[in-house]
Chains A and B, each alone.
Chain A
Amino acid sequence: MTPLTPDKIYGWGVPFAASSYAAKLDRQLNIFHAAMILIFVCWAVYMAYCLIRYRAKPGVPAEYGHLSVVTSLIPDGIILAFEMFMIFAIGLPSWAHVMENFPVEKEANVVHVIAQQFAWNIHYPGPDGVFGRTSIKLISSGNPIGLDDSDPAAKDDIVSINQFHVPVNKPTLVYLSSLDVIHSFNVPAFRTKQDATPGMQVRIWFEPIQLGTFEIACAQLCGLGHYRMRGDVIVHTQDEFDAWIKKKLAEKSES
């Protein structure tokens, strides 16, 4: 598997499906678009037929009567049935899969993502798997999330700004929060999107299935720098990812 270049990821349709659930969600979107086009074409053809067939002609009066109301309820009923099928057969299970059933922490790459105007701070727990304490009183330009170095658990923690390194084919579990205003964590190629609201911490997860660099955008208006609040998810092989962690730990102990 070679890393994808941006021109292979982003095009005129939906981006390359780079996470485990992306293809599934795309398929549902395709079902909807097929149904929408079908409904629209039926409407349009019927309307065009009526406009031509029943255009005003001298000496031909309009008919006073109508079809029975029941006839009109048939298309409405079909659309209702389609929608209910989509919700109960497809929608609720996939929503549960993406938004409610989270990977087990032990088997996942667990990360805190803390949004702020206009950057994404990525906080890794390090080899001990425990996140160090943070406090807003300690926030400074060198310490964007206010990590408390006096906490032993914080010793091996890694903080990265806008560069979100993750291993491929392993679920990443994100605890998402915000320091200031509402942001929204959006990775188009993963079909992942979730608001980061101050005062709340919400979980999301994704499992990358493709190596490469995938853009993180902010999807919720967060101020004048909203448009340039971007980052990258860099998907590595597990070995590369471990090497990257090791390198960051070495850098940290040097400084």
Chain B
Amino acid sequence: METTASHSPAGVHDVHPDLPFVRKYVFSTDHKVIGIQYMITSMLFLLSGFTMMLLMRWQIAYPGTPIPFIGKFLPETMAPGGVMLPEFYNQLGAMHGTIMVFLGVVPLGVAAFGNYVLPLQIGAKDMAFPFLNMLSYWVFLIGGVLMLSSFAMPGGAAQSGWTSYVPLADLAPPGQTMWLIAMTFIITSSLFGAINFIVTTLNLRAKGMTWMRLPFFVWCQFVTAVLLVLAFPVLQGGALLQLMDRVAHANFFIPANLIFGGAPVERPGGGNPLLWQHLFWFLAHPEVYVLLLPEFGIVAEIIANGTRKPLFGYKELVISACGIGVLSFVVWAHHMFLSGMRTDVTKFFTITTMIISIPSVMVLTCFLLSLRGGSIHFNLPMLFALAFLPLFGIGGLTGLPLGFTPTDIYLHDTYYVIGHFHYVVVTGSLIALFGGLYFWFPKMFGRHMNQRLGKIHFWISVTAMNGIFFPMLIQGMSGVLRRQFDPTAQIHNHPTLILNKVMTISALILALGQIVFIVNFFYSLFKGKEAQSNPWNATTLDWAACPSPPPHGNFTQDIAVHRGPYEYSVPNHKTDWSPQHVPDQQLVKS
């Protein structure tokens, strides 16, 4: 296959001998299979991270009470008699964060949807490096399995927060070493994937697919890949330094004269704990946009399709996405306003932080203005895309008093922060990802997901998510701090304790809603209504130019692109969608 040549004829008459099952579905180099592998795996990780959160929420709402059902099965080292230990709570907290970010939302948004959709949208037969793509998935899987299995380490899994601040993490039980090793695998996998996305977008676009004709989703994935390539190596380095601190007593992060567990730490010192925070957040802030940009892309695709009109301000959106990408590298220390770093430095970061809110506002404004003058169809993906707009708005707005240094003094490390980023990542990113799943499911599996079950899933999820995250903002205002095993231990937590029960019950309802989704997913996989190749009457190549599901090599004819990605309701055209690859003369009304 001439996968590396630019503008090669798309998959015509490539002879694919029938591959054995293992090569076709397990060790496959086909971007579509790898995308689906990533999708299933990351959804399983999302489920495991969510289950951990349910256990934690039980402890927060009903401290000291045995965990129902599951408590019986937990070992003595985690929850004797079903009552959670603080060590176990801290392990769950660290693992919930790590799994949701690095093994759940990012792989689902970037690796699953990116892998599946990006080559289709640019008219490529596959990724530029199919073998690297396969390697990326398997390295990711090893990292994820190591991460989960670290609960079996002596002393349990990592328990110093997903941020792994030193010296706590340096001196923590061996689970932390496993966290670092697992992270190294996950980061390596991300780098393989990101390089692949960049090269594919640069080199494998179909004839006529100019940069300004790329669907916004592709732009978002491209910027995301650049962020990953530039930011992740820094954490990779940081993780190796921490690993050296732990296994070779290297003292990169350990200062002199430390007492731990009542005895002096026998290390010469010379290390700096703030260095870790800089290295960590240099990745982890761009990572926030990695959590978000692909979802912007998904929402853009769905909104253009659901309103049947061109997206508002395509160029403005592209500029905003690139602007977010550049600015995301100069805001990292806003996580460290109160760390004790020089107070002058905070001024720079508070200004950049306020400025980076603007491209996000621009994206949201463009999406809102896209609704104007449309013919809005309230189909299932569109419900999720529309819910994204106000709910992500809450997430973005609550970031303002956190990025603003004087108000951050009070709100820093409170539940306000937790509420803020869960509004961004859950009611923002995750809602968009669900929308994307309902949207591209017919393309992936050739069948529609059930509408009725989908709507039940939508309404339960959106309601329950607000029932979890809005009370967090209220608790944060009253000063409740994050990462507290037992909130009753502090007096200032008492007035709002009742909200913990509201949140825990909402979380259980959210769990019920996800059962509906899981049932729908498997039911539709086998029994769903069969889908046409372009059931949403969409314009982009992934829908208009290939069957559902696409065959190996994706396209059955040569692709030449004639117009931008969102040509809906073009005057004088026969249909209200004008596919990118169909020449004008076939579309114009005679």
Contact = CB atoms under 8 A, between A and B. Distances in A.
Interface of A: 6, 9-15, 25, 28-29, 32-33, 35-36, 39-40, 43-44, 46-47, 50-51, 54-57, 60-67, 69, 71-73, 75-76, 79-80, 83-84, 86-87, 90-92, 94-95, 98-100, 116-117, 136-137, 139, 179-182, 184, 186, 188-189, 191-200, 202, 215, 217-228, 230
A44 B255 contact: no
7 contacts: A47-B389, A54-B371, A55-B378, A67-B312, A95-B405, A195-B338, A198-B167
Given A14-B477, A215-B491, A192 B409 contact: yes
Nearest to B576: A61
Interface string B239-281: 0000000000000000111111100100001011110000000
B574 interface: no
A182 B489 contact: no
Contacts of A194: 338, 340
Interface string B359-370: 001101110110
B478 A76 contact: no
Given A14-B479, A50-B372, A199-B272, A182 B167 contact: yes
Interface of B: 85-87, 90, 93, 159-161, 165, 167-168, 171, 255-261, 264, 269, 271-274, 307-310, 312-313, 315-316, 338-340, 343, 346-347, 350-351, 354-355, 357-358, 361-362, 364-366, 368-369, 371-378, 386, 389-390, 393-394, 397-398, 400-401, 404-407, 409-414, 474, 477-479, 481, 483-487, 489-492, 494-496, 568-571, 576
A14 to B, nearest CB: 6
Contacts of A182: 165, 167-168, 273
Contacts of A67: 312, 369, 372
A44 B390 contact: yes
A186 B409 CA distance: 9
Nearest to B359: A76
A219 B168 contact: no
A69 B491 CA distance: 52
A227 B487 CA distance: 7
A51 B484 contact: no
B486 A10 contact: no
B309 A10 contact: no
B404 A221 contact: no
A84 B413 contact: no
A36 B397 contact: yes
B409 A12 contact: no
Nearest to B492: A10
Contact of B168 (A46, A66, A181, A202): A181
Contact of A64 (B365, B481, B570): B570
A189 B354 CA distance: 27
Contact of A29 (B93, B369, B410): B410
A94 B401 CA distance: 14
Given A12-B478, A188-B410, A227-B86, A72 B273 contact: no
Name which of A6, A62, A218, A219 has the most chain B CB atoms within 10 A of its CB: A62
A25 B492 CA distance: 19
Given A67-B369, A91-B350, A226-B483, A62 B406 contact: no
Given A6-B491, A12-B496, A75 B361 contact: yes
Contacts of A86: 354, 404
A40 B481 contact: no
Given A64-B309, A69-B316, A50 B368 contact: yes
B392 to A, nearest CB: 11
Contacts of B494: 6, 10
A60 B308 CA distance: 11
B490 A227 contact: yes
B570 to A, nearest CB: 6
B409 A79 contact: no
A179 B481 contact: no
A66 B312 contact: yes
A87 B358 contact: no
B88 to A, nearest CB: 9
B373 A32 contact: no
A141 to B, nearest CB: 8
Contacts of B347: 92, 95
B406 A193 contact: no
A33 B259 contact: no
A6 B479 CA distance: 14
Contacts of B478: 10-15
A71 B316 CA distance: 12
B413 A219 contact: yes
Contacts of A71: 369
Contacts of B354: 83-84, 86-87
Given A46-B368, A47-B390, A15 B485 contact: no
A43 B368 contact: yes
B416 to A, nearest CB: 10
A197 B405 contact: no
Contact of B365 (A75, A98, A189): A75
A28 to B, nearest CB: 5
Nearest to B373: A63
Name which of A95, A137, A194 has the most chain B CB atoms within 10 A of its CB: A95
A198 B258 CA distance: 7
A51 B409 contact: no
